[in-house]
Amino acid sequence: MTTLFIGDLHLSDDLPYITDAFYQFLETQARKAEALYILGDLFEVWLGDDVADDLAIKVAEKLKATSRYTPIYFINGNRDFLLSYQYARMAGMKILPEVDTITLYGKKTVILHGDTLCTLDVDYQKFRKLRNNPAIRWIYATMPNGIRQLIAKRIRGKSNKANKSKSQKIMDVTPSAVKKLMSDTGTVQMIHGHTHRPGFNDVAEGKERIVVGDWYDEGSVLEVSPNGAMLTTLPF
């Protein structure tokens, strides 16, 4: 009995070895699990379900094949926040709310991508609010693919430039936001990604925050069973 959590793969055509490792994971370890949760940023960028490229289609085929053995759940990240139900159906995934609660082997657990917890990053939170505006999303969806690519490239460029000048404290989760969310949801365990800082963190007595790792230098999988949780790596 094992439930798996992954996130921050940032799949793209530029780094095919990450994609190959993900396929291997899906065809082996993932098929033996009770469930697989993907906590956002599966892709480096997502322009829309209607313009899914060859990589996205191939990934969907691999996910669909694994979903015949293991239920797959997905939470949108900040890079693939536009990934929606059309693609999820193709991939055999179920999209969950951006913040969801599950009972994980007796522990009430809150799961999310994690970007909403970085409340000190005021500029990003403003952008997040703007991008979630239904009118803005509708306008974007009506644009030609080429225009969407230019917009996405510009946003990524500005984000990368801004992140270089931000302190580590600003780019990490805010402890008070973590405590509030766990209190509001009545949970004793939190699992998220986004910060690329894998590990186990005490929140309060009897409460823990677990961060899944990214897939930049090696694969990272959180395995949770009735005996506890552990982070494992998958060498490329």
pLDDT band at 223 (very low <50, low <70, confident <90, very high): very high
Strand partners, 232: 221
Q: Does the predicted model carry a pTM greater than 0.85?
A: yes
Confidence of residue 2 (pLDDT cuts 50, 70, 90): very high
Q: Does the pLDDT value for residue 166 go beyond 80? A: no
DSSP SS3 for 19 = helix
Q: Is the pLDDT of residue 164 over 70?
A: no
If we measure between CA atoms, which residue out of 150, 111, 116, 148 comes closest to residue 132?
116
Laid out side by side, the sheet with 35-38 consists of 93-95, 72-74, 35-38, 3-6, 219-225, 228-234
Between CA 112 and CA 73 the distance in angstroms is 11
pLDDT of 88 > 90? The answer is yes
Distance CA 51, CA 152 (A): 13
Which domains are present in the chain? 3-234 (3.60.21.10)
What does the pLDDT look like over 106-155, one tens digit per residue? 999 999 999 999 999 988 899 889 888 989 888 888 888 888 888 878 87
- Tokens representing residue 124 in the block: 């990003």
CB-count exposure of residue 135 (10 Å: 0-12, 13-18, 19+) = exposed
pLDDT at 167: 67
C-alpha 96/C-alpha 219 separation (Å) is 23
| 82 contacts 137 by C-beta, under 8 angstroms | yes
